[in-house]
Amino acid sequence: MDSERDTSSGAARLLLQEALDALAASLWEPAVRSAGQALAIAPSTGFQIVALDVLAMAHHGVGNHEAASMAAIEALRLGSAESVPVVLEIAGRYVADGDAGRGIGLLEDAHLASPAISSIVAALATHSQQCGNYPGAIRWLEALDRIDPAGATGRRSSIDALRDTVARNAQTRAVIDRIGVRVGAICHQQVTSGPFAGQRLEHEHDFGWVATLIGCYEMELHPAIEHVIASIPRRVINVGCSGGYYAVGFARRIPSVHVIAFDIDATARESCMRAALENGVAGRIDIRAACSPSTLEELAGPGTVVFSDCEGYELQLLDPDVVPSLRETTIIVELHDIWIPNLAPRLLARFAQTHDISHIAMIPRDASRYPILKQAGLSDSEMSLAVSDFRAPGMTWAYMVPRLP
């Protein structure tokens, strides 16, 4: 028995040395092969940890991020911290490529595997804040305080600032709700102007729901929307449908269209369904969760419009090299450069040879254009809030129409 264990240890040791030598020489595939063989015969946890760490780094080197993540998480679970840089780099790459949910999910898995690693918790706090999840950022910073009490004093100002932001948002939302009740009572919860006038909205449709109700929400897109409606597409794909304003709006304005609405948030999908039922178009709206590139490839193409607002994920999703049918698809997309630097030029360059592109900037709002606000007895400050989209400065959109052959 002991001789068998010694033989196994010797073989595993040789394979690990081969893997380490290959890793040092940046020979990723030989490193993966030798480390995988060593893992298969590893006689102890120590051998397993080394093999997994090598696999994580080698898979990462060759660009197989999913396999690298799996190996790194398992190494963390067994007590190693050597794969932490791999996890942090892959998660950061996912976020930079517009897939923040996947990046944060990887970090959360790593945290579950090894809860005491401060750099993972710090990354969770940073990426949560970048995505606008301020309560989440506070939670992770407080968790970091428990792991690293010595640094708690330096983080106190960040936590306090985030708490102030959360409190201000709550106060603003309360004011918006009061404004919305007054405006909604006058218009009976129906959109009063714009391309989707007459659509019935739920109370608290979303943070900018009063602007939606009075018809000035994303008014920059109104000409593009009317142009799309005039083209009578057979299908509209709404990625990031939220409460259903666009999904329902297109279904109401184009009686022949079929709308496929995606949102990863279950509450948003439920709200979208209620709006579809309320407006009598539920039979032509298919509501789904995540939209992957492979799913989009099946649905896009001539006669289809993609309307996308997916918080940066557009950089990963709207790639004609991955989704070739997009080359023949009309696209309206919100561009989230505020979260992913240089997103707009990177994405628009992909369609420069196949589409006519209008890059659309924000325009100021004029509350005096909407008499219903005066009818509701709103003050000047309340009217400013009512017409606001609550959008960060510098946000842009693109309207991209495929060129005729």
Tens digits of per-residue pLDDT, 285-338?
A: 999 999 999 999 999 999 999 999 998 899 999 999 999 999 999 999 999 988
User: Are residues 73 and 112 in contact, defined by beta-carbon separation less than 8 angstroms?
Assistant: no
CA–CA distance, 314 with 318 (Å, rounded to integer): 5
pLDDT higher than threshold 60 for residue 27:
yes
User: Are residues 331 and 192 in contact, defined by beta-carbon separation less than 8 angstroms?
Assistant: no
DSSP structure string for 152-217: HHHHHHHHHHHHHHHHHHHHHHHHHHHHHHHHHHHHTTB--SSTTTT-B--TT-STTHHHHHHT-T
CA–CA distance, 344 with 66 (Å, rounded to integer): 27
Beta bridge partners of 400: 331, 357
Q: Output the average pLDDT for the chain.
A: 93
Cα distances (angstroms) measured from residue 204 to each of 33, 266, 368: 55, 16, 23
Region 151-178 average pLDDT: 92
CA–CA distance, 325 with 321 (Å, rounded to integer): 9
Cα distances (angstroms) measured from residue 318 to each of 108, 332, 347: 26, 11, 8
Residue type, 79: G
* Top-ranked range on mean pLDDT: pick from 147-151, 173-177, 283-287: 283-287
- CA distance between the termini of the chain: 73
Residue ranges and CATH numbers for the domains of the chain are 2-158 (1.25.40.10), 194-402 (3.40.50.150)
Question: pLDDT tens digits for 205-217?
Answer: 566 889 999 999 9
Q: In the structure encoding, which two tokens stand for residue 120, read together? A: 């993972």
The confidence score (pLDDT) of residue 204 equals 61
The confidence score (pLDDT) of residue 201 equals 87
